[in-house]
Amino acid sequence: MTQKIAILGASGYTGAELIRLIATHGELDIAALGAFSKAGQSLAQVFPHLRHLDLPDMVGFDEIDFSEIDLCFCALPHKTSQEVISGLPRDLKIVDLSADFRLRDPAAYEKWYGNPHAAVEMQKEAVYGLTEFYREEIAGARLVAGTGCNAATGQYILRPLISAGVIGLDDIILDLKCGVSGAGRSLKENLLHAELSEGYNAYAVGGTHRHLGEFDQEFSLLAGREVKIQFTPHLIPANRGILATGYVSGEADAVHAALSTVYVDEPFVEVLPFGETPSTHHVRGSNFCHIGVTGDRIAGRTIVVAALDNLTKGSSGQALQNANLMLGLKETQGLMLAPCFP
Amino acid sequence: MTQKIAILGASGYTGAELIRLIATHGELDIAALGAFSKAGQSLAQVFPHLRHLDLPDMVGFDEIDFSEIDLCFCALPHKTSQEVISGLPRDLKIVDLSADFRLRDPAAYEKWYGNPHAAVEMQKEAVYGLTEFYREEIAGARLVAGTGCNAATGQYILRPLISAGVIGLDDIILDLKCGVSGAGRSLKENLLHAELSEGYNAYAVGGTHRHLGEFDQEFSLLAGREVKIQFTPHLIPANRGILATGYVSGEADAVHAALSTVYVDEPFVEVLPFGETPSTHHVRGSNFCHIGVTGDRIAGRTIVVAALDNLTKGSSGQALQNANLMLGLKETQGLMLAPCFP
Amino acid sequence: MTQKIAILGASGYTGAELIRLIATHGELDIAALGAFSKAGQSLAQVFPHLRHLDLPDMVGFDEIDFSEIDLCFCALPHKTSQEVISGLPRDLKIVDLSADFRLRDPAAYEKWYGNPHAAVEMQKEAVYGLTEFYREEIAGARLVAGTGCNAATGQYILRPLISAGVIGLDDIILDLKCGVSGAGRSLKENLLHAELSEGYNAYAVGGTHRHLGEFDQEFSLLAGREVKIQFTPHLIPANRGILATGYVSGEADAVHAALSTVYVDEPFVEVLPFGETPSTHHVRGSNFCHIGVTGDRIAGRTIVVAALDNLTKGSSGQALQNANLMLGLKETQGLMLAPCFP
Amino acid sequence: MTQKIAILGASGYTGAELIRLIATHGELDIAALGAFSKAGQSLAQVFPHLRHLDLPDMVGFDEIDFSEIDLCFCALPHKTSQEVISGLPRDLKIVDLSADFRLRDPAAYEKWYGNPHAAVEMQKEAVYGLTEFYREEIAGARLVAGTGCNAATGQYILRPLISAGVIGLDDIILDLKCGVSGAGRSLKENLLHAELSEGYNAYAVGGTHRHLGEFDQEFSLLAGREVKIQFTPHLIPANRGILATGYVSGEADAVHAALSTVYVDEPFVEVLPFGETPSTHHVRGSNFCHIGVTGDRIAGRTIVVAALDNLTKGSSGQALQNANLMLGLKETQGLMLAPCFP
The pLDDT confidence band at residue C235, using thresholds 50, 70 and 90, is: very high
Q: Are residues B246 and B317 in the same domain?
A: no
Cα–Cα dist D208/B101, whole Å = 49
Average pLDDT over residues B188-215: 97
Closest Cα partner for B277 from B305, B253, B297? B305
Per-residue pLDDT, averaged over D227-246, amounts to 98
Q: How far is CA D183 from the centre of its chain?
A: 13
Query: Could you tell me where the beta strands, DSSP code E, fall in C115-162?
Result: 127-128, 143-145
Indicate the residue of A202, A206, A247 with minimum beta-carbon distance to D297: A206
Domain contains B334: no
State the pLDDT at residue D221.
Answer: 98
Looking only at the bridges linking them, the beta strands covering B143-145 and B93-96 are: parallel
Quickly state the pLDDT bin for B1 (edges 50, 70, 90): confident
- Number of Cβ within 10 Å of residue B170's Cβ equals 11
DSSP letters for C245-281 = EEEEES-HHHHHHHHHHHHTT-SSEEEPSTT---BGG
Q: Give the domain CATH number at B167.
A: 3.30.360.10
In the predicted model, what is the mean pLDDT of residues B135-149? Answer: 98
Whether the pLDDT of residue A5 is over 80: the answer is: yes
Asked if residue A154 and residue A127 are part of one domain, the reply reads no
Distance from CA of C188 to the nearest CA of A (A): 7
- The chain A residue lying nearest C342, using CA atoms, is A198
Collapsing DSSP states into helix, strand and coil, what is residue A220?
Answer: helix
Instruction: Work out the average pLDDT over D208-217.
Output: 98
C333 in a domain, yes or no? no
Nearest to D308 by CA among D300, D316, D298: D316
Q: Does B193 touch chain D (CB under 8 A)?
A: yes
A84 and A214 co-located in one domain: no
List, in sequence order, the alpha helices (H) in D149-210. Answer: 149-164, 193-196
Q: Closest Cα partner for A163 from A221, A222, A101?
A: A222
Q: CB contact, 8 Å: C42 with chain B?
A: no
DSSP per residue, A174-193: EEEEE-GGGG-S---GGGBH
Chains A, D: CB contacts within 8 A come to 161
Q: Determine the Cα–Cα distance for residues B281 and D304; give it in Å rounded to an integer.
A: 38
- Return the residue in D192, D200, D239 with the most chain B beta carbons within 10 A, the one to mutate for interface testing: D192
How close does chain D come to C235, measured CA to CA in Å? 16
Kindly state the average pLDDT of the residues C105-132. Answer: 95
Instruction: Give CA torsion, residues B289, B294, B296, B300, to 10 deg.
Output: 90
Alpha-carbon span D293 to D302, nearest angstrom: 7
Clarify whether residues A20 and A80 are in a common domain: yes
Beta strands in chain B (DSSP E): 3-8, 28-34, 58-59, 71-74, 93-96, 127-128, 143-145, 173-178, 201-202, 230-235, 242-249, 269-271, 289-295, 301-308
Instruction: Calculate how close chain D gets to A111, using CA atoms only, in Å.
Output: 14
Q: Is residue C338 assigned to a domain?
A: no
pLDDT of res. D178: 98
Judge if B163 and B285 occupy the same domain. Answer: yes
Cross-chain residue pair B303–C247, CB shorter than 8 Å: no
Let me know if residue B331 belongs to a domain: no
C90 interfaces chain A, CB cutoff of 8 Å: no
Distance CA B177, CA C200 (A): 9
Taking only the tens place, the pLDDT of each residue in A237-276 is: 999 999 999 999 999 999 999 999 999 999 999 999 999 9
Residue B227: inside a domain: yes
Same domain, B114 and B195: no
Question: Range of C10's domain?
Answer: 3-147+313-326
Kindly list the residues from chain D whose CB atom is less than 8 angstroms away from the CB atom of residue C336.
23-24
Average pLDDT of chain B, as a whole number: 97
CA A76 vs CA A34, A38, C8, C219: distances in Å: 10, 13, 40, 52
Residue type, C215: F
- The model's pLDDT over B309-323, given as tens digits with 9 standing for 90+, comes to 999 999 999 999 999
Residues B35 and B135 in one domain: yes
Q: Is the dihedral of CA C48, C19, D17, D109 positive or negative?
A: negative
Q: Is residue C165 part of a domain?
A: yes
Confidence of residue C67 (pLDDT cuts 50, 70, 90): very high
- Which residue in the list B149, B178, B289, B340 is annotated as catalytic? B149
Please indicate, yes or no, whether residues A182 and A296 belong to a single structural domain of this protein: yes
Domain of residue A74, CATH code = 3.40.50.720
Instruction: Calculate the CA D301 to chain-centre distance.
Output: 28
Q: In this predicted model, what pLDDT tens digit does every residue of C297-337 receive, in sequence order?
A: 999 999 999 999 999 999 999 999 999 999 999 999 999 99
Query: How many pairs of residues across A and B have Cβ atoms under 8 Å apart?
Result: 93
User: Could you tell me if B338 and A53 are in contact, meaning their C-beta atoms sit under 8 angstroms apart?
Assistant: yes
Does any CB of chain B come closer than 8 Å to the CB of residue D188? Answer: yes
Does residue C339 belong to any structural domain of this protein?
A: no
* pLDDT for residue C113: 96
Chain A residue with CA closest to D299: the answer is A206
User: How far apart are the C-alpha atoms of A77 and A239, rounded to whole Å?
Assistant: 19
Q: How confident is residue A324, by pLDDT bands cut at 50, 70 and 90?
A: very high
> CA–CA separation, C315 vs C240, rounded Å?
12
Q: Whole-number mean pLDDT of chain A?
A: 97
Using pLDDT thresholds of 50, 70 and 90, give the confidence band for residue C128: very high
Q: Per DSSP, what are the bridge partners of residue A245?
A: A175, A305
- C-beta atoms of D19 and C336 within 8 A: no
* Cβ pair D326, D139 in contact under 8 A: yes
Q: Which of B338, B333, B337 is nearest to B28 (CA)?
A: B333
- The CB-side HSE value for D30 (13 A sphere, CA atoms) comes to 26
Chain B residues in contact with D194 by the CB 8 A cut-off are: 13, 180-181, 185, 191, 239
Whether the CB of C233 is below 8 Å from some CB of chain B: the reply is no
CB D271 within 8 A of CB D252: no
D270 in contact with C at a CB cutoff of 8 Å? yes
Q: Indicate whether C76 pLDDT > 90.
A: yes
Under the banding of pLDDT at 50, 70 and 90, the label for residue A287 is: very high
Do D141 and D158 fall within a single domain? no
Q: Which residue does chain C place closest to B204, by CA atoms? A: C277
pLDDT category of residue D66 using cuts at 50, 70 and 90: very high
Cα separation, B10 vs A132, in Å, equals: 33
Percent of chain A with pLDDT over 90: 99
Q: What is the mean pLDDT of residues C218-223?
A: 98
pLDDT at position A2 is: 93
Question: In chain C, where do the E strands start and end?
Answer: 3-8, 28-34, 58-59, 71-74, 93-96, 127-128, 143-145, 173-178, 201-202, 230-235, 242-249, 269-271, 289-295, 301-308
Angle between helices A106-113 and A211-223 (to 10 degrees): 150
Coil/strand/helix, residue A218: helix
Tell me the chain B residues in contact with residue D188 when contact means C-beta distances shorter than 8 Å.
Answer: 187
Whether A61 and chain C come into contact, CB under 8 Å, resolves to no
Domain count, chain B: 2
Spell out which residues of chain A touch residue D215, defining contact as CB-CB under 8 Å. none
Question: Does C239 reach chain D within 8 Å, measured CB to CB?
Answer: yes
A47/B239 CB distance under 8 A: no
Does B200 contact C238 at a Cβ distance shorter than 8 Å?
A: yes
Angle at A208 between CA A207 and CA A212, to 5 degrees: 70
CB contact under 8 A, B23 and A336: yes
Tally the C-alpha atoms within 13 A of residue B52's C-alpha that lie toward its C-beta. 24
Is the same domain home to B203 and B232?
Answer: yes
Decide: residue C334, CB within 10 A, 0-12 exposed, 13-18 middle, 19+ buried: buried
Virtual torsion, Cα C32, C35, C36, C42, nearest 10 deg: -90
Give the β-pairing of B289-295 and B269-271. Answer: parallel
**Structure confidence at residue D17 (pLDDT):** 98
**Which chain D residue lies closest to C46 (C-alpha atoms)?**
D282
Q: Is the Cβ pair C50, D339 closer than 8 Å?
A: yes
Q: What is the pLDDT of residue C1?
A: 75
What are the tens digits of pLDDT across the range A167-201? 999 999 999 999 999 999 999 999 999 999 999 99
Helix (H) or strand (E) holding D28: strand D28-34
The Cα–Cα gap between B176 and B234 comes to 6
Is B238 an interface residue toward D (CB < 8 Å)?
yes
Over residues B3-49, the pLDDT tens digits come to 999 999 999 999 999 999 999 999 999 999 999 999 999 999 999 99
pLDDT band of A1, cuts 50, 70, 90: confident
Query: What pLDDT sits at residue D1?
Result: 75
Do A130 and A227 share a domain, yes or no?
no
CA distance B292 to chain C (A): 10
Phi and psi of B144, rounded to 5°?
A: -115, 135
Chain B: closest CA distance from residue C68 (Å): 40
Q: Give the number of other CB atoms < 10 A from CB of residue B299.
A: 8
% of chain A exceeding 70 in pLDDT: 100
Interface probe for D, chosen from C191, C263, C312, C340 (most Cβ of D below 10 Å), is: C340
Is D240 within 8 Å of C288 when comparing Cβ atoms? no
Distance, in Å, from the CA atom of B243 to the CA atom of C233, rounded to the nearest integer, reads 13
Flag if B239 and A342 touch (Cβ within 8 Å). Answer: yes
Q: How confident is the model over A101-150, as pLDDT tens digits?
A: 999 999 999 999 999 999 999 998 999 999 999 999 999 999 999 999 99
Nearest CB to A230: which of D247, D277, D282? D247
From D191, D115, D284, A187, select the one nearest C190 (Cα to Cα). A187
Partner residue facing C177 (CB), from B177, B194, B297: B177
pLDDT for the residue D336: 97
pLDDT tens digits, one per residue of D109-156: 999 999 999 999 999 899 999 999 999 999 999 999 999 999 999 999
Are the beta carbons of D160 and D259 closer than 8 angstroms? Answer: yes
Alpha-carbon torsion, ordered C258, C261, C263, C265, to 10 deg: 180
Give the C-alpha distances (Å, rounded to integers) separating C124 from C79, C109, C111, C121: 16, 12, 17, 5
Q: Say whether A339 and B50 touch across the interface (CB within 8 A).
A: yes
Q: What pLDDT, in 10s, does the model give residues D13-60?
A: 999 999 999 999 999 999 999 999 999 999 999 999 999 999 999 999
Residues of C in contact with B176 (CB under 8 A): none
CB atoms within 10 A of CB C107: 10
User: Please, which pLDDT band fits residue A36 given cuts at 50, 70 and 90?
Assistant: very high
Chain segment B168-178, per-residue pLDDT in tens: 999 999 999 99
Query: Do residue C222 and residue C198 come from a single domain?
Result: yes
Question: Is C206 close to B297, i.e. CB distance below 8 A?
Answer: yes
Question: Environment class of residue A189 by beta-carbon count within 10 Å: exposed (0-12), middle (13-18) or buried (19+)?
Answer: exposed
Nearest CB neighbour to A199, from listed D201, D241, D296: D241
pLDDT digits (tens, 9 = 90+) for A299-319: 999 999 999 999 999 999 999
Beta bridge partners of A279: D201
pLDDT of D243 strictly over 80: yes
Is the model's pLDDT at C219 over the cut of 80? Answer: yes
**What is the least distance, in Å, from the CA of B96 to any CA of chain D?**
23
DSSP 3-state of A90: coil
Helix (H) or strand (E) holding D94: strand D93-96
Indicate yes or no: CB of B51 within 8 angstroms of CB of A181: no
Name which of C201, C240, C298 is nearest B280 (Cβ-Cβ).
Answer: C201
Chain C residues within an 8 Å CB radius of D266: none
**Would B158 be classed as within a structural domain?**
yes
Q: What is the pLDDT of residue C79?
A: 94
Are residues C180 and A198, on separate chains, in Cβ contact within 8 Å?
Answer: no
Residue C342: per-residue pLDDT:
96
Q: Evaluate whether D19 touches D54 at the Cβ level (below 8 Å).
A: no
